[in-house]
Copies of this chain bind each other. A is one copy, B any other.
Amino acid sequence: MRRFLTPGDIGDLKVALEDAKLAKNNPYADQALGRNKTLLLLFFNSSLRTRLSSQRAGSNLGMNVIVMDVNKDGWQLETEYGVIMDGDKPEHIREAVPVMGEYCDIIGVRSFARFDNREEDYSEPIINQFIKYSGVPVISLESATRHPLQAFADLFTIMEKKKVDRPKVVLTWAPHPRALPQAVPNSFVEWMKEAPVDLVVTHPEGYELAPEFMKGVHYEPDQNKAFEGADFIYAKNWSSYSAYGQILSQDRSWTVDETKMALTNEACFMHCLPVRRNMIVTDAVIESPQSIIIEEAANRVVSMQVVLKRMLQSIAEEEDF
């Protein structure tokens, strides 16, 4: 396993979910795999859960974990080709990436959408440089268009908590004061499409996700109707894809509250965090027993650990060869 960006990268989801259960029940069983292996976690953007859960997952596997905030600890990186580098960026990503690959065995990279240009963001310029040039396996710690560790943890959480064989899972847009990337909803939809769930997506007009993600997905424009009989409510804000990076609505009638939750089949409430209280969801709902956000966050260690273990196994096989 050389990269982790889409569900396809992890192969059979059933097997991956079994591995997740094993990792959760026995987190320290595979430390021989990680011995003398270094995990480099690179952040171009802030992080709390991803940073801490990845450090923990690496340590659980016996790895040496190095965290680096590229912009603060290192140098500003030039990402354009062919330029005369006489400005404020002293290093080109084309040198920085292979050099970082020399100092570690696996790289995790967080680099959000920049919102300058949709085509550019959706071409995933940063993480693809790492995949092409680092020489080591690369994990998305949330890239411009995807957050697969979150989606994998979400799926595992749903499988743990479901009370019916094939639960109804609703992804609902909710208001937020800032323009947020589409990475979390994109990956959520991408993973749920592969999972034994009935997915419904609801959002105001203009908030359609990119067609490659929404193809074949059930869209319901009426949030209340979407909530009816739901087993899981997954709330999230995102900015517009069509009017790229724009905030088209801050309509607080979309905030998830107790009245809406009453329409569901006693649904679990989920969110990837950080969450804006009383924008995305009311205090009452987030503090209710149906809220499983903390368990969901805790499962971020599990999803990372499964991915790391697969990569360490690939490395071990190569070394044996």
With a CB–CB cut-off of 8 A, which chain B residues contact A83? 277-278
A99 touches B60 (CB 8 A): no
In the bound assembly, the distance between CA atoms of A94 and B82 in angstroms comes to 48
Q: Which of A38, A43, A55, A100 has the most CB of B within 10 A?
A: A55
Query: Number of residues in A with C-beta < 8 Å to the partner?
Result: 62
A293 touches B73 (CB 8 A): no
In the bound assembly, the distance between CA atoms of A60 and B102 in angstroms comes to 14
With a CB–CB cut-off of 8 A, which chain B residues contact A301? 102-103
Residue of B nearest to A43 (CB): B73
Chain-B contact segment, one of A4-12, A64-72, A188-196? A64-72
With a CB–CB cut-off of 8 A, which chain B residues contact A43? 73
A53 touches B273 (CB 8 A): no
B90 touches A297 (CB 8 A): no
A85 contact from B66, B78, B278, Cβ within 8 A: B278
A52 contact from B60, B68, B276, B279, Cβ within 8 A: B68
Does A36 sit at the interface, judged by CB under 8 A? Answer: yes
Does A95 sit at the interface, judged by CB under 8 A? Answer: yes
A51 touches B36 (CB 8 A): no
With a CB–CB cut-off of 8 A, which chain B residues contact A46? 73-75
CB within 8 Å of B: which A30-57 residues: 36, 38, 40, 43, 46-49, 51-53, 55-56
A82 contact from B60, B69, B81, B283, Cβ within 8 A: B283
Instruction: Give the dominant DSSP class at A's interface.
Output: mixed
Q: In whole Å, how far is A225's beta carbon from the nearest beta carbon of chain B?
A: 26
CB within 8 Å of B: which A85-138 residues: 85-87, 90-92, 94-96, 98-100, 102-104
A95 touches B273 (CB 8 A): yes
B99 touches A275 (CB 8 A): no
* Given contacts A36-B28, A66-B52, A73-B47, A91 and B278 within 8 Å (CB-CB): no
Does A294 sit at the interface, judged by CB under 8 A? Answer: yes
With a CB–CB cut-off of 8 A, which chain B residues contact A96? 48, 274
Interface, chain A (partner B; CB < 8 A): 27-28, 36, 38, 40, 43, 46-49, 51-53, 55-56, 59-60, 64, 66, 68-69, 72-75, 78, 81-87, 90-92, 94-96, 98-100, 102-104, 177-178, 273-279, 283, 286-287, 293-294, 297-298, 301
CB-defined A-B contacts under 8 Å, sample of 6: A27-B36, A47-B73, A52-B103, A53-B103, A86-B177, A96-B274
